[in-house]
Amino acid sequence: MLLKSRILPALLAGFLAPAAAQANLCVDVPVQINSQDRVLSDEVCAAASAALRFLSQYGVVPASPIVIDVVEAPLEHYGYRALGSFDAGTGRISLMSQQAIDRLDPVPAMYGLPFDRIHYRGAVAHEVAHAAFHQNSPNAQLANTAQEYLAHVTQMAVLPPELRVRVIELAAVSAWESGDTISEIYMALAPEKFAVKSWLHFSQLDDPTAFVDMLLNIKWFYVHVP
Nearer Cβ to Zn ion, position 25 or 44?
44
Q: How far is CA 85 from CA 11, 90, 96, 176, in A?
A: 26, 12, 9, 25
- For residue 152, the minimal CB distance to Zn ion (Å) is 7
Query: Which position among 82, 124, 132, 151 is part of the footprint of Zn ion (CB under 5 A)?
Result: 151
- Using the minimum distance from each CB to Zn ion, give the nearer residue, 42 or 148: 148
User: Coil, strand or helix: which one is 172?
Assistant: coil
Q: Are strands 92-96 and 84-87 parallel, antiparallel or unpaired?
A: antiparallel
CB-facing half-sphere around the CA of 106: CA atoms within 13 A: 4
Q: Please identify, using beta-carbon distances, which residue of 42 and 192 lies nearer to Zn ion.
A: 192
The least CB distance from residue 126 to Zn ion, in Å, is 6
Smallest gap, in angstroms, from Cβ of residue 9 to Zn ion? 30
Question: In the complex with Zn ion, which residue's Cβ is closer, 34 or 198?
Answer: 198
Distance CA(33)–CA(66), nearest Å, equals: 9
Minimum CB separation from Zn ion for residue 127, in Å? 7
Residue facing Zn ion at closest CB distance? 151
Number of CB atoms found within 10 A of residue 72's CB: 12
CB 68 → Zn ion: shortest distance, Å? Answer: 14
> Based on CB atoms, which residue is closest to Zn ion, 23 or 111?
111
- The span of 13-21, 141-149, 189-197, 215-223 binding Zn ion (CB under 5 A) equals 141-149
Terminal Cα-to-Cα distance of the chain (whole angstroms): 49
# of chain residues touching Zn ion (CB under 5 A): 2
By beta-carbon proximity to Zn ion, the closer residue of 7 and 149 is 149
Contact range with Zn ion by CB under 5 A, out of 44-52, 93-101, 147-155, 215-223:
147-155
Q: How far is the CB of 18 from Zn ion (least distance, A)?
A: 23
Please give, one letter per residue, the 3-state secondary structure of 101-146: HHCCCCCCEECCEECCHHHHHHHHHHHHHHHHHHHHCCCCCCCHHH
**Which residues are near Zn ion by CB under 5 A?**
148, 151
